Amino acid sequence: VIKAFLFDLDGVIVDTAIYHYRAWKRLANELGFDISEAFNERLKGVSRMESLDLILEHGGLTLPEETRTELAAKKNDWYLELVSRMTPDDILPGVPQFFSQVRKAGLLAALGSVSKNAPLIIERIGMQDAFDAIIDGNKITRGKPDPEVFLKGADELEVSPAECVVFEDAVAGVEAGKRGGMFVVGIGSPDVLTQADMVAPSLQELTVEQVLQKAQ
């Protein structure tokens, strides 16, 4: 029986995935190369430092630890500039309605994000009270596709992985949910999120009932 829904943040609840992409692209351009949208799919759900390492590898650059720390901080400053302008209007279409269905169905809700900025974003969009547990990048040691973030979420909610449904827009995030033993709803394209148990373009196209029917 499904008892809890675990939500990724970037690209599922808010469209910060595009902000991450813009900030990384700006950094890559400054370093003398470019990153495509297709390459960006590999960065989704991946931690800040791991993302930077993938980008540097893509550009054929090897840089010392100190420089890498500086570059990551620079990207984060640009990202925070974009995030600081966010308001509840930035919540993706269908999210408030979906969350009220979650509550009506008596399900628990948790956030499962690798982002260290997740608490700030949740506050900016006024969704602090929508979650029974918040797991973010400050509480974990391994990014997705490691299942740690979702297993911690289940743990805090005191439910088992088999009682959870994960909502994810990232290839790495879908893999994390599957490795954690959870039913995974991919948010995006079925051509990209091939490992997901079901896929919808956004939460707006889904009802809680549809998910529960497939998951149990």
The CA distances from residue 72 to 28, 31, 80, 115, 138, in Å, are 11, 13, 12, 13, 16
Interface with ligand BG6 (CB under 6 A), residue total 18
Helices (H), ranges, the chain: 17-30, 37-40, 48-58, 65-83, 95-104, 118-124, 148-157, 171-179, 208-215
Structure token pair of residue 117: 């900025």
Q: Which of 8, 136, 146, 197 is catalytic?
A: 8
Contact region with ligand BG6 (CB under 6 A), list: 109-117, 127-135, 153-161, 189-197: 109-117
206 belongs to an annotated ligand binding site: no
Please select the residue that binds Mg ion; options are 4, 6, 11, 144, rule is CB under 5 A. 11
| Closest separation in Å from C-beta 144 to ligand BG6 | 8
- Say whether 161 sits in a helix, a strand or coil: helix
Q: Which does 40 bind (CB under 5 to 8 A by kind): Mg ion, ligand BG6, none?
A: none
Task: Report the distance separating Cα 84 and Cα 125, nearest Å.
Answer: 10
Around Cβ 49, how many Cβ atoms within 10 Å? Answer: 14
| Phi-psi region at 10: left, alpha or beta (left = phi > 0; alpha = psi -120 to 50) | beta
203 belongs to an annotated ligand binding site: no
Scanning residues 127 to 156, which ones bind ligand BG6 (CB under 6 A)? Answer: 137
Please select the residue that binds Mg ion; options are 4, 6, 8, 125, rule is CB under 5 A. 8
Please select the residue that binds Mg ion; options are 41, 146, 163, 169, rule is CB under 5 A. 169
Please select the residue that binds ligand BG6; options are 2, 27, 46, 107, rule is CB under 6 A. 46
Residues 6+ apart with CB under 8 A from 83: 16, 19, 117, 120, 121, 124
114 belongs to an annotated ligand binding site: yes
The answer to whether residues 160 and 4 touch, using CB atoms and an 8 Å cutoff, is no
Per the annotation, the verdict on 10 as an active-site residue is yes
Binding site for Mg ion (CB under 5 A): 8, 10-11, 169-170
- Return residues touching ligand BG6 (CB under 6 A): 9-10, 20, 43-48, 51, 76, 113-117, 137, 170
Q: Where is the binding site for Mg(2+), in residues? A: 8, 10, 168-169
Active site residues: 8, 10
